[in-house]
A and B are shown apart, each in its own frame.
Chain A
């Protein structure tokens, strides 16, 4: 490795961190706005929520993962606030330990911000992976669900809101719950990395709505007017400038790797031609 490359590889990461930190410090609204994007995903969610009956029961499958929850968090909090504002009763259930850990954190935050406790039920952790989802789908109803998922009774849910990112996300719900409960609409919030996985389900109608990118989430958040429940929403938006700079850095790094590979192939080709 040449001296120049060694210095670059050593100084690159801290410089990137400093640049991103500087971008985070700048005001959020400097012309780059995530919510100025295609709002079809946001419209889809609003249509699905508008179709809910009065005081609906929403089953929240809360299974994000720690590595991608930062991306979902503002949208999840806004969506939960929106549902609570619409009078929905939220029943939280997690099928993965990681999802349960994050659910505990969010339930604690909702309690701290004085969300109406009468609208929130914590059904806890349901072990058993796919088998547990099947049992959950079969047990949903006025009487059976209480025995299955915990104390008390869980009325028939009007909608399932699945927060994805972990192994048992929207795809598992579509595969295990939808065939057994076709009337139950599933709205999903998932990280960008799952977009290619979930887009086909949205196109085929197996998902009622999907928010799977920060832009979709920002476009949805921009439509909300929660009034007093605004306190449940994150006060600051993610720094779009920092994200843009990070994307540019990633493109430069990937482009450099491809360029090095291309140059190496050209050298081999040239030496073959010469011999």
Chain B
């Protein structure tokens, strides 16, 4: 029961629309691809519409237009943002140097925050956590040591092109196989997540739509 719909007439219509869309998507499994293709177009259209609505109602109006209208002279930061948006929109007609500025800022900021966060929030703490140390139980100590060894082997597996001896080559090969095993495990988790979605959709059809399960 997804519970996203209530009991009113509009909710009943929404349940029917959702059920038909679900049947259309499941229909692709039995070979009905044409209607499924239409449903993909419908999804793309709805997503675009929702994005536009979200941009207007929750970003452009409250975070840009309203503050600018309230204090046009005091919000130079927003005017600068507007100028960057205009430069992006006018990219085909302005010199490349000007058009590159907003894009450079966007990519640079994204890389700086993502890389900085990855180093400070993931790489360093995880390297520290991967160091084997005595734990409260022997099993936990062994697991920690195993994790450290696997981390080391997988890191060695990324060494390419450098001259290496037999030991290093064996370690790299082992590391690559361990990484493949990890990817296989991840694929299993992915299948499981999608499977739960499929079961949920069937439960929606049987319970929410047909009312066969209360």
Contact of B58 among A20, A67, A70, A124 (CB under 8 A): A124
Assembly CA distance A112 to B6 (angstroms)? 8
Interface residues in A1-57 (C-beta closer than 8 Å to B): 10, 13-14, 17, 20-21, 24-25
CB contacts (< 8 Å) of B189 on chain A: these are 192-193, 195-196
Closest to B46 in A: A101
Cβ-based interface call for A191 (8 A): yes
Residues B50 and A105 in contact, CB atoms below 8 Å apart: no
Contact of A193 among B4, B62, B186 (CB under 8 A): B186
CB contacts (< 8 Å) of A242 on chain B: these are 199, 202-203
Residues B198 and A200 in contact, CB atoms below 8 Å apart: no
Contact of A175 among B2, B122, B195, B196 (CB under 8 A): B122
Are A73 and B122 CB-contacts (below 8 A) given A67-B193, A246-B199? no
Closest to B119 in A: A175
Stretch at the interface among B33-41, B85-93, B107-115, B162-170: B107-115
B11 to chain A, nearest CB (A): 9
Residues B122 and A70 in contact, CB atoms below 8 Å apart: no
Residues B200 and A70 in contact, CB atoms below 8 Å apart: yes
Cβ-based interface call for B72 (8 A): no
Residues B58 and A192 in contact, CB atoms below 8 Å apart: no
A234 to chain B, nearest CB (A): 6
A119 to chain B, nearest CB (A): 19
Residues B213 and A234 in contact, CB atoms below 8 Å apart: no
Cβ-based interface call for A127 (8 A): yes
Interface residues in A237-271 (C-beta closer than 8 Å to B): 238-239, 242-243, 246-247, 250
Stretch at the interface among A78-86, A128-136, A222-230: A128-136
CB contacts (< 8 Å) of A243 on chain B: these are 195-196, 199
Residues A125 and B110 in contact, CB atoms below 8 Å apart: no
Closest to A20 in B: B202
Assembly CA distance A191 to B186 (angstroms)? 12
Cβ-based interface call for A236 (8 A): yes
Residues B30 and A13 in contact, CB atoms below 8 Å apart: yes
Residues B50 and A101 in contact, CB atoms below 8 Å apart: yes
Residues A24 and B4 in contact, CB atoms below 8 Å apart: no
| Chain B 132-159 interface 0/1 with A at a Cβ cutoff of 8 Å (1 = within) | 0000000000000000000000000000
Give 27 A-B contacts (CB < 8 Å), ordered by A residue. A13-B29, A21-B206, A25-B213, A67-B194, A68-B197, A97-B50, A97-B51, A127-B59, A129-B113, A130-B110, A130-B114, A175-B122, A176-B117, A176-B121, A179-B117, A179-B121, A192-B193, A196-B182, A196-B185, A204-B129, A236-B203, A236-B207, A236-B214, A239-B203, A246-B195, A246-B199, A250-B191
Residues A196 and B110 in contact, CB atoms below 8 Å apart: no
Contact of B197 among A25, A71, A124, A196 (CB under 8 A): A71
Assembly CA distance A206 to B26 (angstroms)? 40
CB contacts (< 8 Å) of A176 on chain B: these are 113, 117, 121
A213 to chain B, nearest CB (A): 8
CB contacts (< 8 Å) of A203 on chain B: these are 129
